[in-house]
Amino acid sequence: MTASSVSYKVAASSMRSIVRFWSRSSHLGAALLGVALLFALAIPVAAQEGRRLRAGYASLSGNITPLWAAREAGIFKKNGLDIDLIAFPAGTEGMAAMIAGEIEFLAIAGSTTASAAIGGAEVFTMALINDRLLTSLVVGPAIQKPEDLRGKSIGISRFGTSIDTAARIAIQHYGMEPIKDVSLVQVGAVSSAVASLRGSRIQAAILSYPTIIYARREGFREMLDIASLGTPYAANGITLRRSFMQQKREVTLSYLKSILEAIARVKKDKPFAVEVMGKYLRTKDKELLDQTYDFAITKYLKERPYPTAEAFRSVIDELAQVNPKAKGQDPRRFYDDSLLQELDKSGFINALYR
């Protein structure tokens, strides 16, 4: 069999997996099927055995700092791993790559993982780096008090996402109903929301760091830190395929150890963490980096990133609004913390903070 025929079979198999995933998952939308198919057709050679491992991420925010730090500090290599980091423009594309076998690990929201699993993909979360929605409700000058939101519009990335969920939580927190009392407007990427605020297309938006700082500099203000409400939510986790963990258990364990070491490093070494964030966020803005660090690392980064049923139950409730198959799902089917428990019980995590 020629190399080209092997590549074709890999691409075809990947395409079939992706078709099954998108067709079963109304949460992510049939409109994205074309993107997934194009990705599958672009697979050929890289999917063959022998290449370096790949870890993907879609969020360009301070929440991804441990992944970047694991590479920059040489932690992956210390643990015997040769990792390429792959940035995706959206979580849906990252998940398509995972289903296609193009990446082994993915830093992604629990909603994307759960939606894919409900659609038939064999993916799960093995660690939950953030168990809250690390976003804020940012408003324009016309919004001085919560009641001023009534009849106005809040910008979100798109319906059915964690940003959508955050907006609904904020609206309900102020005693109003989403859609009925406050409109939700899809504006695309979180960074695009600032332009929509500037152009008065929307009067408020759900933003994350460091975009919050850019908005603040343009005269907008943070009305509500949604994470401070304490609502459990599987916001940012480490996702992989079950078959990979079964076949490459030691590799998976080494990857998890690397992330845990990186979490400890960035928590204990702010100058290093800020330098890493600056490199990947492509900025030397000290105020922006310091504030992003204080929020994403000091305040909300978990030393022990255990996934919980409560965090995934919130995800299921979110998905059930657009995907009937999500109703009644057991949240425990979407995560497996056995390797994390193994490392924790061995004293590995405690040793990182001595």
Spatial separation of the C-alpha atoms in residues 169 and 152, rounded to whole Å: 16
Average pLDDT, the chain: 86
Average pLDDT rounded to a whole number, residues 12-17 = 42
pLDDT confidence of residue 158: 78
- pLDDT of res. 165: 85
pLDDT digits (tens, 9 = 90+) for 21-33: 444 444 444 444 4
Dist CA 187 CA 195 (whole Å) = 9
Per-residue pLDDT averaged across 329-337, rounded?
A: 96
Residue 49 has pLDDT above 90, yes or no: no
For the residues 337-344, what does the mean pLDDT come to? 97
Q: Who contacts 162 (Cβ-Cβ below 8 Å, separation ≥6)?
A: 109, 111, 133, 135, 233, 235, 318
Per-residue pLDDT at 51:
58
Please give the C-alpha separations between residue 318 and each of 162, 165, 213, 234, 348, in angstroms, as whole numbers. 8, 7, 28, 11, 35
Q: Which residues, at least 6 apart from 196, have a Cβ–Cβ distance to it below 8 Å?
A: 155, 185, 187, 202, 205
The per-residue b/e assignment along 11-43, b for 16 or more CB within 10 angstroms, e otherwise, is: beebbebbeebbebbbbbeeebbebbbebbeeb
Confidence of residue 59 (pLDDT cuts 50, 70, 90): confident
Task: Please give the single-letter amino acid code of residue 138.
Answer: V
Of 44-53, 55-64, 80-89, 234-243, give the lowest mean pLDDT range: 44-53
CA–CA distance, 145 with 151 (Å, rounded to integer): 13
What spatial distance separates the first Cα and last Cα of the chain, rounded to whole Å? 55
> Tell me, what's the pLDDT at 191?
76
Bond before 324 cis per omega within 30 degrees: no
Global confidence as pTM? 0.80
Structure tokens at 208: 């994350």
Structure tokens at 155: 């910008």
| Distance, CA of 91 to CA of 103 (rounded, Å) | 13
Q: With beta carbons less than 8 A apart as the criterion, state whether 289 and 103 touch.
A: no
* pLDDT over 90 (residue 90): no
Q: What is the pLDDT of residues 184-229, one digit of tens each?
A: 999 987 778 999 999 999 999 999 888 899 999 999 999 999 999 9
Residue 17 has pLDDT above 70, yes or no: no
In which element (H, E) is residue 54 found? strand 53-57
Which residue would you say has higher pLDDT here, 261 or 35? Answer: 261
For 164-203, give the secondary structure using H, E and C: HHHHHHHHHHCCCCECCCEEEEECCCCCHHHHHHHCCCCC
* Helix residue spans in 42-161 (DSSP H): 65-72, 75-78, 91-99, 110-118
* Segment 125-136, tens digit of pLDDT: 999 999 999 899
Residue 42 pLDDT exceeds 90: no
Distance, in Å, from the CA atom of 114 to the CA atom of 125, rounded to the nearest integer, reads 9
DSSP 3-state assignment of 327?
Answer: coil
Residue 189 has a pLDDT of 76
Considering only 49-63, 67-81, 284-298, which range has the smallest mean pLDDT?
Answer: 49-63
Q: In this predicted model, what pLDDT tens digit does every residue of 250-274 receive, in sequence order?
A: 999 999 999 999 999 999 999 999 9
DSSP 65-86: HHHHHHHHTTHHHHTT--EEEE
Which residue type is seen at 131?
D
